[in-house]
Chain A
Amino acid sequence: MSGETPLLPARAEPMALTDPASGVRRRSVYSDAGARFRSMGSAGLKILGLAVFAFLLFGPLANLALWSVAERWYTPFKLPVSYGMRYWEVVFRPTGDAMASLATSVSIACLTVLVALAVSVPAGYALARLKLPWRTALMILFLLPQAFPSVAIYINVARVFYSIGLTGTITGVVLVHAAHGLVYSVWIAAAAFAAIDRDLELAARNIGASPLRTFFTVTLPLAAPGIMASAIFVFLESLDEFTGTFFVGVPQVTTLPLLLYNASMGGNYQIASITALILLVPSVLFMIVIERFLKADVLSKVGQ
């Protein structure tokens, strides 16, 4: 940049003004070298930053992958002593615990999505479109389950559920997961509805559609991508949820994270790693999908 200074007196002027003692030419030589050094330095920093980021992101994953194929691995060896797919076989055996808890996890996640959508679609529409007097308070209400330490909440939830016979049932776990996921689904659904231009609905009303018909033929299809994204968030949250399931579901309901917990507490790192890798698959897949569904116009309305 400063190499151009002799050609651009207009830009050189302020430089000379800031330091009238030094000549323009000498300055330009110094800052030329300085700029080159800085640009090299910044490129180096970028590479270093990326490397640290990649290590932090992929280091633990590589460790998981390694553990999942390590049949024997003990100190002082830096790498597994022998490799094999024995534990994968154990996990994927049809009678195995892992498959059963995977099925439990997925069905709980699906039910949670249904419950969350049943609340978030009407609630999101109301929050986005109607003039509600307690709008902000309602939005915060859905945030509350996330705002307090979850252990404190779930201990009380477990006590209440116990007294009404919901502990150890799928229903109980689904309710806990749904309460947890509602903040995402309601906030995102409200944003998805708010992002729809009102004129699109008015155009339908105008040529003869009833409010309900307008909602199902115009509003809902247009909000669908955002609602899809919120459903995916809820699904992933449910799949991943540990604390609530632990307090409400144990011992009858065993989800994948609980299995992982049991395996790693029992020192069975292979099973734990494979379970963790299984849990990773839907997350990665859905994240790719969400990235396509959640558009900037919806994201900009979240929490408004």
Chain B
Amino acid sequence: MLHGVSLSVVPGEFIAILGSSGCGKTTLLRTIAGFQKASGGAIRLFGRDVVNMPPERRGMAMMFQSYALWPHMTVLGNVGYGLRLRGVPKDEIRSRVAKVLAMLNLTGFEDRKVTNLSGGQRQRVALGRALAIEPEILLLDEPLSNLDAKVRIQLRSEIKALQSRLGFTAIHVTHDREEAMTMADRIVVMDTGRIAQVGAPKEVYDHPNSPFVASFMGAENTLSLDVRPSGSGVEVRADEAPPALYSGEVPVGPVTAYFRDDVASLDDPNARVDGSIVLPGNITQRTYPGGHYRYVVAIGNRHFTVTDDRYHELARPVGLRLPLASLHMFSNNQTTGGNHA
């Protein structure tokens, strides 16, 4: 179910639709493709409304999570299918398919059966099948989520490179934040059938406009703070910590701050740093995942994870330092529309 989704895409743009499962992102993509009938509204493609047009006339091509390659055809049959439909002569199909396959590092794979290919190769063939018809719009329905990590990262950059080279518009549905961040020009975060935020990756990451977007972009730790005006700036108080002065723009009153693990650092429990709040606590756990230590710090009855380069003894009192500029603060009085700190 989609509710009042409005999105315009510039030709040649790479858009990532990001959301957890069941948020409507796949529904949105399939409605754009024409696989699902829209009960209302319009889908405009270069000015003409395609909402009642069958999928085969929309001039889009899609990559599926399941690859959706036809097992009864060879690689040539799959990639050349769209050209065969368009009545391209056989020799030309062969040469154009060869060109597409060369682009995807699959030269010489024409007569292979698709069932004998690896996941990454299959998805490349699917990409080739989509690109062979030179679509104006490429739709990507989580095409990389069935692949293993290494192949996924490699294909990510391949798709991105092909997109900037060939200049097609891409709409990519994914639940993988990093994938969306690295590939897209703009990110659309969706939440239960609605668009929560649209913006460049950096903007959405650094300035989420709602608690949902903040936690979806990885700021999953929360902290209740109290913000009071003080002089030219504000005074930020936490239950356990001494108040900190801050001159940035933040909502006043009781707020909830969202932050990522990586903004926190360890400090002296009694340290007072301008623009940062220092929460006194105890180290309860230490692990070494490689490169740096990861600590679990207990503050009151809550636990936060923090990474630090230095070695600290367990059960040692420490201060968890949070720079106020990196916290996403949302007023508790209104659920949305909070200012970013």
Contact = CB atoms under 8 A, between A and B. Distances in A.
Contacts of B71: 222
Interface of A is mostly: helix
A207 interface: yes
B86 interface: yes
A205 B55 contact: yes
Interface string A165-182: 000000000000000000
B35 A210 contact: no
A213 B62 contact: no
Interface stretch (A135-143, A195-203, A230-238, A274-282): A195-203
A56 B121 CA distance: 52
Given A206-B61, A207-B129, A208-B82, A200 B56 contact: no
A138 to B, nearest CB: 24
Interface in A124-155: none
B81 interface: yes
Interface in B69-126: 69-72, 81-82, 85-86, 126
B133 A208 contact: yes
A66 interface: no
A218 B33 CA distance: 19
Interface in B118-168: 126, 129-130, 133, 135
Given A199-B64, A213-B85, A206 B56 contact: yes
B195 interface: no
Contacts of B247: none
Contacts of B85: 207-209, 213
A208 B35 contact: no
B68 A203 contact: yes
A213 B56 CA distance: 11
B54 interface: yes
Contacts of B72: 221-222
Contacts of A206: 33, 35, 55-56, 60-62
A218 B82 CA distance: 13
Contacts of B34: 205
Contact of B70 (A205, A211, A213, A222): A222
A199 B71 CA distance: 12
A207 B64 contact: no
B62 A209 contact: no
A207 B69 CA distance: 13
Interface string A183-220: 00000000000000101101111111111010001100
Contacts of A203: 62, 64, 68-70, 126, 129
B56 A209 contact: yes
B66 interface: yes
A296 to B, nearest CB: 15
Interface of A: 197, 199-200, 202-211, 213, 217-218, 221-222
Interface of B: 33-35, 54-57, 60-62, 64, 66, 68-72, 81-82, 85-86, 126, 129-130, 133, 135
13 contacts: A199-B64, A200-B68, A203-B64, A203-B69, A203-B70, A203-B129, A205-B54, A206-B33, A206-B61, A207-B81, A207-B82, A207-B85, A207-B133
